[in-house]
Amino acid sequence: MQRITHHPILKINNQSKTVKFKFNGEEITGFENEPVSSALIANGVKEFSIHKIQDAPQGIFCANGQCSHCTLIIDGKPVKSCITALKEGMDVKKLIHFPDLPIDNREFTDFNLQNLNCDILVIGGGPSGLTAAIELAKLGSKIILVDDKDKLGGKLLLQTHKFFGSIEDCYAGKRGIEIAEILEKELRSYPNVQVFTNSMVAALYKDKKVGIFINFENYAIVDFEGLVISSGARERNLIFPGNDLPGVFGAGAFQTLVNRDLIKSSDRVFIIGSGNVGLIAAYHALQAGITAVGIADILNEVTGYKVHADKIKRMGVPIYLGYTILTAEGDGKVERITIAQVDEDFNPVLETAKTFEVDTLLMAVGLSSIDEFYNTAVQYGFKAVKTGDADEIAEASSAMFGGRVAGLQLAKLLGYKVEINGSFYEKAEILKSKPGEVFQIEKKEISNEYMPLFYCNQEIPCNPCVSVCPFDTIKLNDNLGNIMDLPVFDGKCTKCGQCIAVCPGLAVTLVKKLYGEFAEVVLPHEFEPTFSANEFVSLTDIDGNYLEKGEVIKINYSKRYKTYLISFKVLLENAHKIAGIRVQEPEKIKPLDKAILNYLPENGIVCRCERVTVKEVVDFIEENNIHDANQLKQIRVGMGACGSRTCSVLLPGVFKMAGIDWFEVAPSTKRPLTIEIPMCALVNEKGNEVR
Amino acid sequence: MKIFDVLIIGAGSIGLPVSFYLAKKGLNVGVVESLASEGRGQNRAAIGGIRATFSDPAKIKICQYSLDLIKNMKTEYGKDVDWVKGGYLYPAYDIEIENSLKNLLVKQKQFNLNIDWISAQDVNETVPGINMNKLRGGIFSPDDGSASPIKVAGAYYSLARKYGAEFFFNEVVLETKILNDKSFRIKTNKNEYSSRFLINAAGADANTIGKMVGLELPVIPDSHEAGITEPVNPFFSPMLVDIRADAESANYYFYQNKEGQLVFCITPRPPIAGTDCDNTSVFLPLVVRRMLELYPRLRNIKVRRTWRGLYPMTPDGFPIVGFTKEVENYFLAVGMCGQGFMIGPGLGLIISEIIANNSTEYDFILDQLTLYRSFVGNEILK
């Protein structure tokens, strides 16, 4: 069983009931009510379907109900397995090409059209939707919140790391999973709030209604006065040969499998993209006991927070900057990937190729806002606000603040008498700031007294270390005058260790001179220690360069922050440089001695649903003077289940390859439904009531 | 300024085939279209059915041509437009509908159409699992079928360009002048063009374009919503048309296309006039309920996408085709009443014969579809 049995942060639930089910006739087991897709992955299944084009094997891709790559035949019906709960005795079969429609000739007699009404419909219960809904609930409006997951919190639920930001505004220092619980509890405490989980908005309609697919079983039409659109973002993708092999999936999908479903989806992952999502994916992999072989980014610098990247490097994950993905290869699944350096025009230099043996390639190449709901709402003249990633891709800390502002803005639009505190806007802006300047770390003289050292030298919106210090001796320098500033220590330290434990970047240490040429360094550690007192452990500098094997003096655990604080005896000369504990040794993650180069870039897939290659699209554009993305529907691009939601972000690049400037191309029209809905559900056959 | 033999206003279901057949006959053709590419008006909203089984000589002739042209697109021009010969089937669940269909049948047989009454059992064989309760039988025309509107539009666009037709997209016609030598001068938001012949193939905008030369065309668009499902393996072949009316809808129809997807559409009752093409909440529950009553097996198929398109309607439900008396060399190909996709190929060929070769073979069509008819009467199977 490929399940996660130990995790430093997540609670392993052993209470789930084991059920038996069949996959392609063979009896296997899974946990009741977990997604069928997760149960299969736990059983080592990678291939979910065979595409009609070239009989290409297809695996899970979004794990999020958005695409349809996990479609299986379950009890005779074609369904998306990532949103289907596992039950005892299910008969699950691989989908080969197209499904047969089940023969069910029972007369259709019993149906039921459902109507709901509310003042405000909130689309998406992630960090911004929850906070917006809470602000509006306080005003007494009747609220319906719709979210596609079984628990509220959106991406917060997948985040086992501590948050950046500030404690007073956005729970900094707590982990996403904990914040989600706090917000959900608060929201549900209002009697005027109705929450539909496992439910999706299928369409906004011109007659001022919204169609929602409830529990993936029923359909209801909702009347509303205002809309909060907090629908989040979808993951971007890249075009390269092998990009649709089972084993290539989004970092978000990986987080879902690993952190929500506790499935060990992989043994060895490689990550493309060094933004915060990619960096965190590496960290999540390590926590789940998965080897993070490396991170590559086409740019020459890390795009995420430096403090995050440094943390990952210290743990022993190399970041290959200036590298692009060439291929993912393997027999029906990812078995190896090859990257290469790029020249100044971002073209790969094949001589620099490196091949790594991995079973999973995670795409973390950015997010794009799910903005079609908002655009439609504006087009139809509805009163609506957008917030969170649906508005602008930013950190969850900013989203939680932005949500509060957006909720109040909508209240104003709807005629409620509310005051929006001017500082709210300012804070929301600061919290979504891009990382600022990087400063040199000053060398500190180490004394006989404990003092904190900060390996946090890039301005980012974060200050929990300041908030937790009991003596107020940690302050922000006054460079910018806001929470982007860097922390400095001046005065007294009691070795309480809170600043170390709370820091999301694991970027604070405590140091003290011991005797002779030795010093003590206290380091944070977010893994179950694999060592005990008096053992020697590899320690690194801020960038992950090996410094020495430090001797473990003592292991403490901060229950509140779920973080170990580990004291080491180290050389005095290294004490001001030691910033982290290596958890992954370099031997395990080296590339093959010789790169395997089998590079046919024209085979990269643009439209995953219909499996249209980049060559087919470029040739079609060139031959037919294409200047409207809708024309690509002639070769089926955008005609699949996802409605061009996955490939539309790739099209600007594809048109560029064909020599056409994207700004001269008419965009493809996005139409409802957002999710495919069975006909019986659209009319609520069998008189199913909305729960 | 570019000068053409023929200018066509509208690169849609009608304008595209007309442009190809005229260009193929060696004429110098220009096409002005207000939208960004071919077929983006109502062609994109067509569901794809093509039949010749009408009850009037003009549409029968035109659509027999269309069927031939579409069928042969692949062998003749290498363009696969997803043609499927699935037939059209009109089931009858009550005696009134049986009688009206059978009355029509008498007329249709006079035109040698391959269409006949089939028993309830045969209906069930053609559409396995159809609701048999009170089913009396139906009329079935096996030679009719379907194709992909977007692929047909793309095929004609690419063929027309190959033969030298020039397309001007994103250009809105602002003015049409008739010069002393009776040639036309078209002014758009970007350019001016001149031509000897002018064809109004402007679909839902036909009347706006007609007014520029002082014509009042009785073409009023109303709107219909349509949808498409996920693909599944083929399980029934014909276009199924249920002409029973109920409180909110007149009729509805659906078929399974070559990709395996069901495409469906409903006629609202009363009609919704206007040019609004945004989706409404009314459509899906309404059409799905009716489809499941007729064909319960569809309950597990998933609806993928919906859209709304316009039927440029005339008072009697028949198109307006031909030269005008008021303006010389001004040709109307308008008011297709939602059948532009199936009429387009055949009509395109016919118009090219009339304009390029002065053919009189189709005078019976022009007589029937003239602007100067009384417009009383009503097409029975719209």
Task: State the average pLDDT over residues B244-262.
Answer: 96
| Contacts A623 to B, Cβ<8 Å | 158
Residue B230 to residue A676, Cβ atoms within 8 A: yes
pLDDT of residue A689: 44
Task: Name the amino acid, one letter, at A460.
Answer: I
Enumerate residues 118 to 147 of chain B having a beta carbon within 8 A of any beta carbon in chain A: 128-129, 131, 133
Interface contact B272, partner A, CB < 8 A: no
In 3D space, the residue among A569, A586, A662, A560 whose CA is nearest the CA of residue A621 turns out to be A662
Name the average pLDDT for chain A: 93
Residue A207 to residue B280, Cβ atoms within 8 A: yes
Distances from the Cα of A559 to the Cαs of A536, A556, A562, A565, B211, in angstroms? 24, 10, 5, 11, 79
Reading phi first (left if > 0) and then psi (alpha if -120 to 50, else beta), residue B247 is in alpha
pLDDT of residue A430: 84
Residue A678 to residue B307, Cβ atoms within 8 A: no
Return the DSSP state at B362: T
**Tokens 């602007």 — which residue?**
B371
How far from the centroid of its chain's Cα atoms is residue A465's Cα?
A: 25
pLDDT in tens, A258-268: 999 999 999 99
CB atoms within 10 A of CB A78: 25
pLDDT in tens, A103-115: 999 999 889 999 9
Beta carbons of B31 and B15 less than 8 angstroms apart: yes
pLDDT in tens, B30-86: 999 999 999 999 999 999 999 999 999 999 999 999 999 999 999 999 999 999 999
Q: Which residue of A has its CA nearest to B302?
A: A678
Interface contact B68, partner A, CB < 8 A: no
pLDDT in tens, A227-254: 999 999 989 999 999 999 999 999 989 9
Residue B36: which of A203, A627, A678 has the nearest Cβ? A627
Q: Please, which residues have CB within 8 angstroms of residue B18's CB and are 6 or more apart in sequence? A: B8, B199, B201, B333, B347, B348, B351, B352
Q: Is the pLDDT of residue A6 over 70?
A: yes
Least Cα separation, residue B74 to chain A (angstroms): 15
DSSP-assigned beta bridge partners for residue A28: A21
Percent of residues, chain A, with pLDDT higher than 90: 83
Q: Is the pLDDT of residue A411 over 70?
A: yes
In 3D space, the residue among A367, A372, A258, A293 whose CA is nearest the CA of residue A4 turns out to be A258
pLDDT band, very low/low/confident/very high, at B379 (cuts 50, 70, 90) = low
- ∠ CA A260-A266-A267, nearest 5°, is 130
Residue A628: which of B36, B280, B304 has the nearest Cβ? B36
The H or E element spanning position A236 is: none
C-alpha torsion sign, points A250, A252, A258, A260: negative
Record the pTM. Answer: 0.94
H runs (alpha helix) in A50-161: 127-138
Cis peptide before A529 (omega within 30 of 0): no
Q: Is the pLDDT of residue A281 over 90?
A: yes
Interface contact A203, partner B, CB < 8 A: yes
DSSP-assigned beta bridge partners for residue B9: B32, B200
pLDDT of residue A690: 43
Residue A634: which of B154, B230, B302 has the nearest Cβ? B154
**Tokens 């806007």 — which residue?**
A425
pLDDT of residue A65: 82
pLDDT of residue A687: 55
Rounded Cα distance between A98 and B233, Å, is 6
pLDDT of residue B194: 98
| Contacts A633 to B, Cβ<8 Å | 150
Residue B289 to residue A678, Cβ atoms within 8 A: no
pLDDT of residue B359: 96
pLDDT band, very low/low/confident/very high, at A691 (cuts 50, 70, 90) = very low
CB atoms within 10 A of CB A592: 12
pLDDT of residue A172: 79
Q: Which residue of B has its CA nearest to A67?
A: B304
Q: How would DSSP label each residue in A525-539?
A: E-S--S--TT-EEEE
Rounded Cα distance between B37 and B167, Å, is 9
pLDDT in tens, A63-122: 988 788 899 999 999 999 998 999 999 999 999 999 999 999 999 988 999 999 999 999
Residue A102: which of B151, B300, B304 has the nearest Cβ? B300
In 3D space, the residue among B329, B332, B324 whose CA is nearest the CA of residue B18 turns out to be B332
Task: Name the amino acid, one letter, at A525.
Answer: H
Q: Exposed, middle or buried: residue B16 (CB in 10 Å: 0-12, 13-18, 19+)?
A: buried
Beta carbons of A410 and A384 less than 8 angstroms apart: yes
Residue A626 to residue B37, Cβ atoms within 8 A: yes
Task: State the average pLDDT over residues B361-379.
Answer: 92
Distances from the Cα of B113 to the Cαs of A568, B52, B259, in angstroms? 93, 8, 28
